[in-house]
C-alpha cells in the first residue's frame, strides 16, 4: 500500500491538536501559539518527521514546525509525538508553495530542507524547494541573519541549488559534498529517514548552509 493511501489519515490530521489548522490565521502570532518567545525553526517537506522530532527533543529552547504536503506521511510524525510528546514541536499540512501566507517578516530564524524532491524536468525547476522561486518566498519571513540548511544525496539537485544562490541574492556559508566525512559539518548531524536510507547504500550526502548575501 502506498503511504498516500492510508485511509482516514486526513480525518486524523483534522482532529489532531498537534497540527495547526488554518495556519495563515497564525501569521505573525506564532509566539502566542507556543506561549513563549523562543526562536522558531521550520522543516519544509519533513516526511515522517524523524529529523525534526529528534532536533526538537535535543533543543527544547527552540520552537519547531514540521511542514508536510501529504496527510498519510504527516500521520507518521504524529505517531512519533504520541510515543514521545514534545511541547516545542507542531505541524502544518500544506503545500509549501503557500508558505508566504503562514509566516510574517523576520518570524523564522532557520529553515531546514532535507532530501527535497528533485523535480528532474527543467520545466518543473520552480517546484524544487531550494530553487530561486522558493528562496524568494523564504526571503520574506526568514530573519535577516537567519540561515537555511539543505541536505541531499542528489548531486544534480545540489549543484542546481548552489547555482541558484547568486541570482537569488544568497551566499553559501558552508558547503560539503560528503557530510558524513566532513569533520566540522558532521558534528551534531541528525540523520533524516532518507539520509539513513541513501547513506547506507554508500551515497555521499551533500549539505550547504546559506544566508542572504
The footprint of ligand SAM (CB under 6 A) covers 44-47, 67-70, 73, 95-97, 114-115, 117, 192-195
Q: How far is the CB of 36 from ligand SAM (least distance, A)?
A: 26
Q: How far is the CB of 52 from ligand SAM (least distance, A)?
A: 9
Closest CA to 49 of 70, 69, 66: 66
| Active-site residue, from 95, 98, 109, 117 | 117
Nearer to ligand SAM, 171 or 197 (CB): 197
Closest CA to 198 of 144, 153, 146, 132: 153
**151 vs 38: CA distance, rounded Å:** 25
- Most distant CA pair in the chain: distance in Å? 46
Q: How far is the CB of 189 from ligand SAM (least distance, A)?
A: 12
Q: Is 117 a catalytic residue?
A: yes
Nearer to ligand SAM, 67 or 161 (CB): 67
**103 vs 31: CA distance, rounded Å:** 11
> Which positions are catalytic?
117
Amino acid at each position: 500500500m502506498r503511504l498516500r493511501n492510508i485511509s482516514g489519515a486526513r480525518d486524523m490530521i483534522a482532529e489532531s491538536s498537534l497540527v495547526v489548522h488554518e495556519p495563515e490565521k497564525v501569521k505573525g502570532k506564532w509566539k502566542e501559539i507556543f506561549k513563549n518567545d523562543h526562536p522558531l525553526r521550520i522543516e519544509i517537506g519533513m516526511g515522517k518527521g524523524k529529523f525534526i522530532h529528534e532536533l526538537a527533543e535535543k533543543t527544547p529552547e527552540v520552537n519547531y514546525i514540521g511542514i508536510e504536503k501529504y496527510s498519510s506521511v504527516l500521520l507518521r510524525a504524529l505517531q512519533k509525538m504520541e510515543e514521545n510528546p514534545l511541547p516545542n514541536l507542531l505541524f502544518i499540512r500544506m503545500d509549501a508553495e503557500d508558505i508566504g501566507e503562514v509566516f510574517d517578516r523576520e518570524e523564522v530564524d532557520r529553515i531546514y530542507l532535507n532530501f527535497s524532491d528533485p523535480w528532474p524536468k527543467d520545466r518543473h525547476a520552480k517546484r524544487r524547494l531550494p530553487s530561486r522561486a522558493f528562496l524568494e518566498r523564504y526571503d520574506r519571513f526568514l530573519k535577516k541573519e537567519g540561515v537555511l540548511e539543505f541536505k541531499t544525496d542528489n548531486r544534480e539537485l545540489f549543484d542546481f541549488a548552489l547555482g541558484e544562490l547568486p541570482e537569488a541574492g544568497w551566499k553559501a556559508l558552508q558547503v560539503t559534498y560528503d557530510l558524513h566525512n566532513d569533520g566540522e559539518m558532521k558534528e551534531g548531524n541528525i540523520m533524516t529517514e532518507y539520509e539513513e536510507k541513501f547513506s547506507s547504500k554508500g551515497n555521499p550526502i551533500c549539505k550547504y548552509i546559506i544566508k542572504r548575501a
